Chains A and B, each alone.
Chain A
Amino acid sequence: MKRALSLYAAAVYLFLHLPLAVLAVFSFNSSRFTVWEGFSLRWYEALFRDPHLAEAALNSLIIAFTATAAATVIGTLCAYGLWKQKTGILPGFIKSSLYLSLVTPEIVMGVSLLAFYQWVFRFLDVQLGMHTVVLAHVMFSIAYLVVVALARLRTLDPSLEEAALDLGATEWVAFRKVTLPQLMPGVAAAALLAFTISIDDYVITSLVAGVDSETLPMVIYAMARRGGSPLVNAVSTLIVVILGVMIVASERLQGHS
């Protein structure tokens, strides 16, 4: 069975990576169409000459890092609070709201946020921008964080923390020393998920973005709508390679320490 499982997994990995591998190959195509005309680096040259793309990539990174950090803290605390206090008005309110936020279609969330910002801006002299995008991202990733962190917490034994309390630890110490370490893998997985969602979001971002907060997906969308410029292939290849190297490197570092 182990063999069958490995084979199956290999097939799924192929499914996950083959389309992008094809894209990567075609990013070296000298033709701008899907007909192979020979090896060329012209799209990568064009990429590096495009300040627009670099800026959008930077915006995406700043937004994703900030939003993920904020959402991870708020979400983990929230999951912990929900785990400790299962009933009551506040947990009830939060749970049903998070349910609701999960079932809200992206487009609805985007439009409702836009309407809300519009209303708030009537009283403040503010424009749409990076801050509105970050706030939106924190909001839509928080439900995912809570769900994943809570799924993890559910599998923990609450008596461990109670034992720590009985032994005289304060609540904070009990949380930090006993629960948090056990929770960490769940939090890491959740943060990764939030980061993935944030850096990828187009629908909501495009609605609440201002002049200075154009993200990579927005630029790629514009390019892709024009018929899939090989520039898109080159950008994606570059992103995958950079992130891949980063992940492998962090693996190696962890392995050595």
Chain B
Amino acid sequence: MKLPAARLCLLPAAVLILLLFIAPLLIVCAYSLLSRGAYGGVGLPRSAESYTRLFDPLYASIFARSFAVAAISTALCLLLGFPLALFISRSGRRKNLYLALVILPFWTSFLVRTYAWMFLLRDTGLLNTLLLSLGIIREPLPLLYNYGAVILGLVYGYLPFMVLPIYATIERIDRSVIEAAADLGAKPWTTLTQIVVPLSAPGIAAGSVLVFIPCLGAYLTPDLLGGGKTILVGNLIQNQFTTARDWPFGSAVSLLLMALVMVLLLLIARRNQEGLL
């Protein structure tokens, strides 16, 4: 007799999801099977053309590039985020302050953060000016408008999504387990790799997914920091819905992207028994 209450808890979420997610998504599915209207929008006849167009090396290469960029950004986020989460969880009374310091920059607009990097990286930006005046370089370095800048922007943009879930799981690790390991003579590094990291695996998995997905769909960062010289899946989709006004094809690309990520997630979920949800 414990089920009805649980079901009641699920009800509001179920209604919300059905109305504001599943129904809109079905509309996108329907769009992907229609033709492009003469002036944008969608129209009849029904056709699977949007899907056949996807079998094209051009789009395969765009997908591959996007996955690579998102994977590198996620790895870098983990590299920066895990030690930070560990540091925060060990900082006693100051915990909340340090946590707030992670989140604070992210209450300014994403665009502002991106522009802040443009400020730093451009030819007449702070970094180049500094290096020039120190005599380290003679010509400004082309720091902006390349893949490096895009990845930097993505890491900067999504780092808290990595830190917060990892922090939440590290916090839950029983102190006595760590103390016991120390008592038994484990070195701090051993404790970290043998106990803390495995126990925070759910947080690491959650954080990685929370970073990977938005990186994969990003289109503002590649545009602004990449200078529009590269095209990632996010830009491809965005172009279809704006300049090209080809909603059916945009819908088909979006659905393919979602399908690929779902497959990836299922693979992770199989290895990591608990999964995310």
Contact = CB atoms under 8 A, between A and B. Distances in A.
A105 B216 contact: yes
Contact of A103 (B119, B120, B261): B261
B265 interface: yes
A239 B12 contact: no
A217 B110 contact: yes
Contacts of A240: 104-105, 107-108
A224 B254 CA distance: 27
Nearest to A16: B105
B24 interface: yes
A63 interface: no
Interface string A205-247: 0000000000011001100100010001101100110011001
A152 B274 CA distance: 13
A15 B262 contact: no
A126 interface: no
A199 B110 contact: no
User: Nearest 3 A-B pairs (CB), nearest first?
Assistant: A105-B217, A81-B9, A112-B24
Nearest to A71: B16
Given A108-B217, A146-B277, A243-B107, 17 more contacts: A15-B80, A18-B120, A80-B6, A84-B5, A93-B14, A94-B13, A94-B14, A99-B276, A105-B254, A107-B238, A111-B241, A112-B27, A119-B27, A152-B168, A189-B164, A196-B106, A200-B106
21 contacts: A9-B88, A19-B120, A20-B108, A23-B116, A34-B122, A74-B13, A82-B10, A85-B3, A85-B7, A90-B10, A90-B14, A98-B17, A113-B20, A116-B27, A147-B210, A199-B107, A202-B109, A202-B220, A224-B112, A228-B119, A247-B97
Contacts of A135: 20
B69 to A, nearest CB: 14
Interface of A: 1-2, 5-6, 8-9, 12-13, 15-20, 22-23, 26, 34-35, 73-75, 77-78, 80-82, 84-85, 90-91, 93-95, 97-109, 111-113, 115-116, 119, 135-136, 138-139, 142, 144, 146-148, 150-152, 154-155, 165, 171-172, 175, 185-186, 189, 192-193, 196, 199-200, 202-203, 216-217, 220-221, 224, 228, 232-233, 235-236, 239-240, 243-244, 247-248, 251, 254-255
B23 to A, nearest CB: 6
B37 interface: no
Most chain B beta-carbon neighbours within 10 Å: one of A95, A100, A103: A103
Nearest to A185: B171
Interface string B223-244: 0000000000110011001000
B31 interface: yes
Given A107-B241, A224-B111, A97 B22 contact: yes
B38 to A, nearest CB: 19
B115 interface: yes
B115 A232 contact: yes
Contacts of A20: 105, 108, 112-113, 116
